[in-house]
Structure 1
Amino acid sequence: MERKIKDYESECVDCRCCMKGCPMLYSFTISPKKLLIKFTTELPTSDMAFACANCGLCAHTCPRDIDFGAIFTASKKNYAEDKKVLKKYGYGGVIFHQKSSFSKLFSTTKKFTKGEYTHMAFMPGCALSSYSPSLVHTVFNYLQSKCSGMGIIQQCCGTPTRAMGDMAQFQTYHSQLENDLAKMGATTVVTACENCFMSLKTYAPHIKIVSLYSLLREIGLPETAKNRYTNASKMALHDPCPTRYEKVIHADVRALLEQIGLPYEEFTFNRERTLCCGSGGMLELSHPSLAYEQMKTRAHQTTCESIVSYCQSCAESMSHGGKNGVHLLDLIFNPTFSMKQEEQGTLKKWYNRFTSRQKIDALKDKA
């Protein structure tokens, strides 16, 4: 890493492009080049490393391809060896989330033995299951009607531990996820969560990963969803930063919005240039004030009162930032949706995940 940082330091022209839209760099420096020079002789402070949202914007905007995120990620991994350091940045909350997420109370799988798509599994992700068990199961029922035999897995991808730099713990959780998928015979996973998509794509390359939104474009939407929102107020579309470079997903989401007839506008910073919603890198635990400021900043980069996203964490962040965050799946699959998500506390979210797990366990083979 030292050689690379020295290369960065010599290449940096101090144009500050990396700082535009970054939730944290302005809090620590006014000169990226000076910061890089400092990093040639010492690690970033833990406070700085754990303030990085790992959104990838700095590397994308830099004319010299300098990646501050990679530097901070490597630093997190070093600091993660000392659990006392991690504890300072909310790691206790991460461990509680991960242990609970992989427990029998909140995780399960359901394999179907008949049908053409028994090799596929739908993975809604933690945030969506916490938000709405009924939405998860409405989506899954529709998928099964089009892809007979598809299974479902309620499990975490392990991103929270990886985002905190604890790679050993991440590998433990990731291995458990892979084992569960293997027991299901799932060689293709359909993800509704962008973190799940990228985690599996990166760390399980032998498994085929398909975005739910790409699959929905392929198999078609329910007839009742088409042109449902032609008279609705315009919303802004926020792209989640984990899938910054997934151009196919960007295009497929926009195609779905066109099909449901929703009037929408693009943020100035969209697709590959999208900004973090404020929840990236576990920022809400490690630096809550920075996270909240980023939520407000992003939410108010549009005059639209409602912001639609295809990530539940992003939708919640836009609501926390002062606007009305909406999930695309509600618009497609919930005809009685009031165009506003119900605000839910932590206990309610865990209860929702428990309810979702119960619904999965109660599923019967329909083929």
Structure 2
Amino acid sequence: MKEKSNTCSAFCLEDSAAEKIISVWELLAENKHFPFPDYGHRKMALQDCWRSYDNAAQQKAVRRILQRMNIDIEELDENYNKTRFCGVSLYEPLPKQNGDFAPNRFIENAEDLFISHTEEEQAALMKKHCDKINSHEVVCYCTACIKGINLGEKNGIHLLDLMFGIEPKATAGL
């Protein structure tokens, strides 16, 4: 199952009467009662997702959550609005409904993205991306990003897994 929250927020902003979208990360970051686990200043890289490149409130909330869990964040050079990463999903054809419901996001603002690549090319692109990341563990808030990070031989960890204390199986670099 693919996470659709970042895609759904684009749909809501472009194809509904919604004027503002609040992410679940923003709600959780401000929750005073959530029992955030303590990771004792474990260092992890943070991968921002292209699908939310212009959602600074969400991106800041993700960082507040990581800070509340005592995770030391390795910021990537291509972070916040500079990110151009969403795993291999940007190296596959654009799903028609994405372009229909959110043409600004998925067509007009997606130059040079959604171009088909072979599986071998996708793996090489993910490896090249991951080679720029120092930390072996990479926190993601998008399942497509996790898949790409794991394909690039780093250990992608979903933010929700960290929040609920679920240690991921080592999937990369073994």
Range into which the TM-score falls when normalised by the shorter chain = 0.7 to 0.9
Within-5 A mapping of 1:117-156: 126-128=1-3
Residue equivalent to 2:56: 247
SS in 1 for 2:22: strand
Match of 1:286 among 95, 101, 116: 116
Residue equivalent to 2:102: none
Structure 1 residues 11-70: Cα deviation after superposition (integer angstroms, max 9, x where no partner): xxxxxxxxxxxxxxxxxxxxxxxxxxxxxxxxxxxxxxxxxxxxxxxxxxxxxxxxxxxx
Query: Looking at both structures, which has the greater relative contact order when contacts are Cα pairs under 8 Å and sequence separation is at least 6?
Result: 2
Within-5 A mapping of 1:54-133: 126-128=1-3
Q: TM-score under structure 1 normalisation?
A: 0.37
Q: Distance in 1 between matches of 2:153 and 2:145?
A: 13
Structure 1 residues 178-206: Cα deviation after superposition (integer angstroms, max 9, x where no partner): xxxxxxxxxxxxxxx22222222222233
Count the aligned residue pairs: 150
Report the structure number with the largest CA radius of gyration: 1
1:270 correspondence with 2:93: no
Partner amino acid for 1:198? A
Conservation of the 8 A alpha-carbon contact between 1:229 and 1:263: no
Consecutive unaligned residues of structure 1, counting only runs of 5 or more, are 1-125, 129-156, 158-192, 344-367
Residue equivalent to 2:167: 338
How far has the Cα of 1:250 moved from its partner? Answer: 1.2
Conservation of the 8 A alpha-carbon contact between 1:277 and 1:318: no
Within-5 A mapping of 1:223-238: 223=35, 225-226=36-37, 228-232=38-42, 234-238=43-47
Partner amino acid for 2:23? S
Q: Distance in 2 between matches of 1:293 and 1:342?
A: 17
% of aligned pairs identical? Answer: 27
Decide whether aligned partners of structure 1 residues 200 and 294 sit closer, same or farther in structure 2, where only a CA change above 3 A counts.
Answer: farther
Structure 1 residues 152-181: Cα deviation after superposition (integer angstroms, max 9, x where no partner): xxxxx6xxxxxxxxxxxxxxxxxxxxxxxx
Q: Distance in 2 between matches of 1:341 and 1:240?
A: 22
1:199 correspondence with 2:50: no
Q: Distance in 1 between matches of 2:47 and 2:126?
A: 12
Conservation of the 8 A alpha-carbon contact between 1:309 and 1:328: yes
How far has the Cα of 1:231 moved from its partner? Answer: 4.6
Q: TM-score under structure 2 normalisation?
A: 0.74
Decide whether aligned partners of structure 1 residues 197 and 340 sit closer, same or farther in structure 2, where only a CA change above 3 A counts.
Answer: farther
Indicate the RMSD between aligned Cα atoms, in angstroms: 2.5
